[in-house]
A and B are shown apart, each in its own frame.
Chain A
Amino acid sequence: MTNQQKIATIGLFIATIAVICGAWLLFSQKPNSATYITDRDTGEVYNNKVNTQQTGGGLDTTSVTLFGIQKFIASVESSGIPSTSFATDVRDAITKYSEIELKNIYPTITLRPQNMSVTKTRISAELRLGQDDKFVPVDIRIFGDGRGSLTKIGGAFYYVGGLATLDQSLFTISQSDFSGPNITVDSFTYREAALNQLENLGYAIPDLNIKFLNYENPFK
């Protein structure tokens, strides 16, 4: 056997060992990656098997794990917005979005603390779908000192939160369906003012399915 043949044989042996080790590592790590999810944006860890080992805001639901909620609440509260019910509305909005729009195909959704803009009336942020580079913008309008909100995710998904508490002097705007754009306006005098109120929140009227109570269209 020449020196070159010896080197080739040793090289082949090392390559075989490397392939075997690589395959072993690949398959031996798979169960771990399915059990533990470390979020790329928040560093929160979600443990599928032992929920009590969550270290951050990873929130267990039956369908999707939400990350970033705790950091979101902290950002909101530091801006002076009472977040108790409002944060629940936003969390519900993302869960509904996952169920209705995404059919729960992503096991995790992160409300990213990066690039989050928070004012007293508006929050702009983005969602990371799964742990890949798939992002969807989120636009949240806040009104009634945090008692109500409209969450827009992506281009067409709306979630109305807390509108039932939005009382004006001449009308009440309420949500009749918590999982969609359905809104009821109970108007005593001027319905156009209710539309203006909704428009002032920054949302287009044609995106909302508005039903007026105690009203009959004179043209129909």
Chain B
Amino acid sequence: MKKRYISLIIIAVAAIAVASVWYYISNRHTVVFSLTGGNYTLSIYPEGQKNSVATLKSSGSVWLKNGGYSYVVDAGNDSSDFNNAAIDFTIESDKTITVYPNFSASHLASLLTGSEQQAINAALAPYLSRVAASDYNIQSLDLYKRGQWAAGKIAYQPSTQEPAEIYRFVLSKNSDAWQVVIPPQIAIYSAQYPSVPRDAIDDLY
């Protein structure tokens, strides 16, 4: 009888141990990070915590507990080149995350050279030529992502009796040529342009 009790206890302990291991494993998943677009280090942080749970210097996989996380790009001495804003992600199953960091605002500003601005103006010319040159001026122009998107505002004021109206536009660069994706207009409906980065449109308002 005593042996039976001992056997039962051992079986119960073994069952609890198996259940615990199963619970531990089933709540963790493999995340493959594919690091593309330059040399940088990727640090992974659990949601709301300052200490990273993993750091990758090249593509690799991490075994993470289910939950919310963020990753941050650090390019060392070249860190000013990359946008180091935290990118949130959630783990509920195995997944692959391709990291392709955007350039920082300062680096994008440095890419907007005189010749680049001229190329953008040339792409806009068919639209700008429809109004008198004295009636408008380009109020702002900024690059986005890795410099392949440009968005800006035109102040249009045909009469000094009325305040200027603001027209927004977006261009993209394909094969070194700028193309107008959103022609100058007052109100841009983002759902109409799903390929255009939302932050580029939001910054126009």
Q: Do A and B bind each other?
A: yes
| A interface, CB within 8 angstroms of B | 181, 189-192, 195, 199, 204-210, 212, 217-220
The interface bits of chain B over 34-59 (1 if a CB of A lies within 8 angstroms of the residue's CB, else 0) are: 00000000000000000000000000
Most buried by A among B156, B163, B186: B186
List chain B residues, Cβ under 8 A from A212. Answer: 186-187
- Tell whether B183 is near chain A: CB-to-CB under 8 Å: yes
The reply to whether A206 and B186 form a contact with Cβ atoms under 8 Å apart is no
- Tell whether B189 is near chain A: CB-to-CB under 8 Å: yes
- Tell whether B31 is near chain A: CB-to-CB under 8 Å: no
The interface bits of chain B over 132-150 (1 if a CB of A lies within 8 angstroms of the residue's CB, else 0) are: 0000000000000000000
List chain B residues, Cβ under 8 A from A190. Answer: 162-163, 165
**A205-B205, A206-B198 as given contacts; A217 in contact with B165, CB under 8 Å:** no
| A137 CB, nearest partner CB in chain B, Å | 16
The reply to whether A195 and B205 form a contact with Cβ atoms under 8 Å apart is yes
B 188-204 contacts with A by CB, 8 A: 188-192, 198, 201-202
Specify which of A192, A209, A218, A220 is in contact with B192 (CB 8 Å cutoff).
A209
The reply to whether A218 and B156 form a contact with Cβ atoms under 8 Å apart is yes
* Complex A-B: 28 CB contacts under 8 Å: A181-B189, A181-B191, A190-B162, A191-B186, A192-B165, A192-B186, A195-B186, A195-B205, A204-B202, A204-B205, A205-B187, A206-B189, A206-B198, A206-B201, A207-B190, A208-B189, A209-B192, A212-B187, A217-B186, A218-B156, A219-B127, A219-B167, A219-B183, A219-B184, A219-B185, A220-B130, A220-B183, A220-B185
List chain A residues, Cβ under 8 A from B202. Answer: 204, 206
List chain A residues, Cβ under 8 A from B186. Answer: 191-192, 195, 210, 212, 217
List chain A residues, Cβ under 8 A from B171. Answer: none
